[in-house]
Amino acid sequence: MSCINASNFRYAAEHGVIIVNPDTSPRGLNIPGDSESWDFGVGAGFYINATQSPWKDNYRMFSYITKELIEIVNSNFPVAEGKQSIMGHSMGGHGALVCALKNPGLYKSVSAFAPISNPMECPWGIKAFTGYLGPKETGAWSEWDATELVKKYSGPALELLIDQMALTEVSCNKIFGGLQKVFSHKSKEVGCTMKFGVFVPPQAEENKKLPVIYWYAAIHGVIIVNPDTSPRGLNIPGDSESMDFGVGAGFYINATQSPWKDNYRMFSYVTKELIEIVNLNFPVAEGKQSIMGHSMGGHGALVCALKNPGLYKSVSAFAPISNPLKCSFGIKAFTGYLGPKETGTWSEWDATELVKKYSGPALELLIDQGMEDNFLKNQLLPENLMEACKNVSFPAILKKREGYDHSYYYVASFIGEHIEYHMKNLTK
């Protein structure tokens, strides 16, 4: 029930431990309804023994994991008798906890990453338990809920290790057939509680892995993730004095200067930590991600793509700060976050400079600019970026929108085109 990757194998090799990772559910049975959603059936067997038709004959993952699989492993591999532990993630974390609590002494230890800890009280658990076990009033729901099981545990001493990259749902609204959700979580990169929005389209209910677009600052079956602009709630002196610095504009860089360097690491947050969180918690198709942004977020989108060759399938930006080294917004931010130009690494965070030395996979920049934008001439400077691209034959498109300003009315007018653009690249 663990997510196996290279790091798991490295630790297993270092410590001399066998890792077994079973499936989440029975497969290939073609039971009506078993493939209609990612949170039921083949997508989520919930590691219980079902009591309701048509699931009861096959959906017995609890017995399979705690009896049959252990016998198979012990018979075929050099396993030390009685030396076994269990861990899992999300629905698998729930399974690990339940398997340990319902089998006192079977496992030496148990841990779980972001487990469904109280399924009787959450929509995922209620849906699964109703289907597999029947109505709450007649089913044995409490027998499969870790929060209930700990209340009556009477076996050998056992400690629960819960590792929670805790996603707290702040809000949820249905729109265009999908769900727009906002989550908060404690970030390791920026050292505070962060929020991000996720649009989960209706196609997620079809048990599909979907592409994702990271949108800075319910169409096509794509997940939209929109992170915050900056760390919040830290109360660093000076972080709330202006719209173009601090909580108003983190500039998606990793600060090097005090008092910002410990928390203002938005670049690492959005390109590493946030991607890991999204991939672990939502039905994302591996490697199918693009990025876009607006204004300061447009600058961030360009920089994130250019500094991470191959990470994103495509990148676009609405009215981005294209050459922050040459505008007052950028100079103020870079001076504060990175130090004086002479000693700081300003060029490492400027798209106009980064295109000059880009050497990764083929990438095209889609730049969208309203021609009545008050910031166009003095702050955004798209012509500088276009000239730099031309000089090094870097593919770039500049769409000029006559009569449009810098507002979200402008963005709303053309964001559909950008999503279409990204979908073409994500589905190649």
pLDDT value, residue 1:
35
Q: Are 145 and 116 in contact (CB under 8 A)?
A: no
Query: Could you give the CA distance from residue 263 to residue 163 in angstroms, rounded to a whole number?
Result: 22
Dihedral over alpha carbons 89, 95, 97, 102 (to 10 degrees): -170
Show the low-confidence residues of the chain (pLDDT under 70): 1-10, 164-166, 207, 216-221
Query: Any idea which residues carry the catalytic annotation?
Result: 295, 373, 406
pLDDT value, residue 190:
87
> Please, where in the chain does CATH 3.40.50.1820 lie?
6-163, 168-426
pLDDT value, residue 22:
93
| 168-426 carries CATH number 3.65.10.10 | no
pLDDT value, residue 325:
97
pLDDT value, residue 221:
67
pLDDT digits (tens, 9 = 90+) for 322-340: 999 999 999 999 999 999 9
Q: What is the 3-state secondary structure (H, E, C) of 65-93?
A: HHHHHHHHHHHHCCCCCCCCCEEEECHHH
CATH of 6-163, one of 3.40.50.1820, 3.30.70.120, 1.20.200.10, 3.40.50.2300: 3.40.50.1820
Residues contacting 129, CB < 8 A, separation 6+: 46, 48, 119, 120, 136, 139, 141, 144
pLDDT value, residue 220:
57
pLDDT value, residue 177:
84
pLDDT digits (tens, 9 = 90+) for 62-82: 999 999 999 999 999 999 988
pLDDT value, residue 9:
65
Q: How many CB atoms within 10 Å of residue 61?
A: 25
